[in-house]
């Protein structure tokens, strides 16, 4: 069995920005942990995604703590990697930024782009990988 290796911050950011279209956002809902998949886009400072009115993701505002995760696995050779972001969530309210997000390349599979946009700051980012055997 191969040892688990840490992934450097720069590589974590590269994986986050280029290797996935769907990630999982984790947050607290009524005192309990919740994890949901979302389409996202990332830059070196944050992860952003779209959500609908009244969804469980409405808990992600006003500086709520949140985590975000992406991964890939290759079962044939028992390898893979995972990147985790920890930060705080805020609803995007700047009209210019909302216009760019609503007309940009990110297209949610589940939500109309005119809905709410949430940003999770990248306060901490870490990654781990199991190399190919």
Token pair in block for residue 110? 């589940």
SS (H, E, C) 16-76: HHHCCCEEEEEEEECCEEEEEEEECEECCCEEEEEECCCCHHHHCCCCEEEEEEEEEEEHH
**To which residue do tokens 């998949």 refer?**
37
Interval 26-49 mean pLDDT: 94
A 10 A CB-CB count for 77 gives 12
Q: Say if residue 27's pLDDT is above 70.
A: yes
Distance separating alpha carbons of residues 60 and 46, to the nearest angstrom: 14
State pLDDT tens for residues 43-74: 999 999 988 877 777 788 789 999 999 999 98
Domains of the chain: 5-128 (2.30.110.10)
CA terminus-to-terminus distance, the chain: 8
- For the entire predicted model, the pTM comes to 0.90
Q: Say if residue 1's pLDDT is above 70.
A: no
Q: Are 17 and 43 in contact (CB under 8 A)?
A: yes
């Amino acid at each position: 069995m191969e040892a688990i290796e840490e992934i450097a911050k720069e590589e974590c950011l590269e994986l986050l920005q280029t290797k996935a279209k769907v990630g999982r956002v984790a947050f607290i809902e009524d005192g309990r942990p919740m994890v949901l998949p979302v389409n996202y886009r990332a830059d070196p400072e944050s992860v952003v995604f779209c959500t609908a009115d009244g969804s469980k993701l409405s808990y992600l505002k006003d500086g709520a703590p949140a985590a975000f995760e992406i991964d890939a696995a290759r079962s044939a050779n028992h390898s893979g990697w995972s990147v985790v972001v920890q930060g705080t969530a805020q609803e995007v309210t700047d009209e210019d930024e909302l216009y760019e997000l609503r007309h940009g390349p990110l297209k949610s599979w589940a939500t109309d782009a005119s809905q709410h946009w949430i940003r999770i700051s990248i306060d901490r980012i870490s990654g781990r990988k199991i190399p190919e055997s």
